[in-house]
Amino acid sequence: MVVRKLNFIQTLRGISALIVCIHHSRYLVEIENENTILDSIRGSIGVSLFFIISGFIMVFATQNLSDNIIVNVKDFLIKRIIRIVPLFYFVIILYLIICHSNYLFYFTTYLNNFLKTILFIPLFTESIGPAYGFSFMYVSWSLNYEMLFYIIFALSLFFRKGRYVFIYLFITTSVFIMPLLFKGSFSFSYETTNNFSCNYLNFISNPILLLFLVGVTMGLVLPKIKIKPNLALYSLLGSIVIFSGYFFKLIPEFIGDELIICSLLVFTVLLMDYNAPGYKIPNFMVYLGNISYSLYLLHPIVYLYLFGLVKKVGYHWESSWYFVCIGILFVFISSCITYELIEKRFTAFLRKKLLSH
């Protein structure tokens, strides 16, 4: 069954970005001796949702390839670089402008770390995953995995019809077989290290890559599943209940918990896209998904700027919920602007200039 618009999954992408924004806003709420709701959620789960969706989208977006392998690989990499890099570098420039005194010192003193950041290489200042050290743009660690997955996917295109076999072999070998052979065990925890002497082996063997693999599997399986719209809806509602229980820490942690629960939610959301075209998503929710990348990248710098501005003018909102609400509002407005100008218009210009067709 051909799907023209994936509005449900696009909406989930926007919600995932919003979850991360809310999760990081907890650092701005400083209420003494009081546990807030922001301390009672698993906000980092938004990144896991992103990775599964990314794996699915790569399969969905490469259904109709040309017979020219080199053109396929080149166009794929160009599209992914155009999608990720322009906005990422723009936000780095914002850091320089807004926080020039602190970050200029960072750029000049820790040049190696700066270069790794802009080249999507983990810093390896810490041995524990999944970030292996945070740069001045602390959300950029997830882009390192995105770029790694894009490289794996690009390499798979050389194998034509066997490309998914290559992806499965690469990720299962790096996550399971390699740690088992050389270290005697493997783990499902993202906050782990295999203690390889080569830091990059620790990076490519982190089980967080399984999220992409699950997304790829969904991309291959879902077009073959046909169920009644009401059954798809009930499945989605059930997975939302389970996800909410885990999100609010009502469901305890267990082995592979994020992988299983996020996969269930993404799968049932996609069931709606493929099997329930009669159910509509409000346009503003779809638009939230459109600006999700801007939301994800911009929210730390917006929070930082507003925090400094509020302190400078003498107000004390930084210790209240007002600041969180205002911060999220400004993130949304800023994201709309960067989406329209950079992600939409500038990206369209680059695609026209650089792509083969």
DSSP label at residue 252: P
What's residue 296's pLDDT? 96
Cα torsion 96, 99, 101, 106: sign: negative
Compare 49 and 313 and report the one with higher pLDDT. 49
What's residue 32's pLDDT? 42
What's residue 38's pLDDT? 66
Q: Mean pLDDT check: name the lowest of 28-37, 63-72, 168-177.
A: 28-37
Q: Mean pLDDT check: name the lowest of 65-74, 106-115, 128-137, 329-338.
A: 106-115
Q: Which residues of 31-70 are buried (b: 16+ CB within 10 A; e: fewer)?
A: eeeeeeebeebbbebbbbbbbbbbbbbbbbebeeeeeeee
Q: What percent of the chain has pLDDT over 90?
A: 64
- Spatial distance between the Cα atoms of 115 and 123, rounded to a whole number of angstroms: 9
CA atoms within 13 A on the CB side of 121: 12
What's residue 323's pLDDT? 75
Segment 147-162, tens digit of pLDDT? 999 999 999 999 988 9
What's residue 37's pLDDT? 63
pLDDT(225) > 90: yes
What's residue 76's pLDDT? 95
With bands split at pLDDT 50, 70 and 90, how would you rate the model's confidence at 27?
Answer: low
Q: Is the peptide bond before 130 cis (omega within 30 degrees of 0)?
A: yes
pLDDT(179) > 90: yes
Segment 233-258, tens digit of pLDDT? 999 999 999 999 999 999 998 999 99
pLDDT(39) > 90: no
- Spatial distance between the Cα atoms of 313 and 81, rounded to a whole number of angstroms: 40
Segment 274-312, tens digit of pLDDT? 999 889 999 999 999 999 999 999 999 888 887 777 767
pLDDT(146) > 70: yes
Cα torsion 164, 165, 170, 173: sign: positive
What's residue 80's pLDDT? 96
Tell me the one-letter amino acid at 35: N
Segment 322-342, tens digit of pLDDT? 777 888 999 999 999 999 999
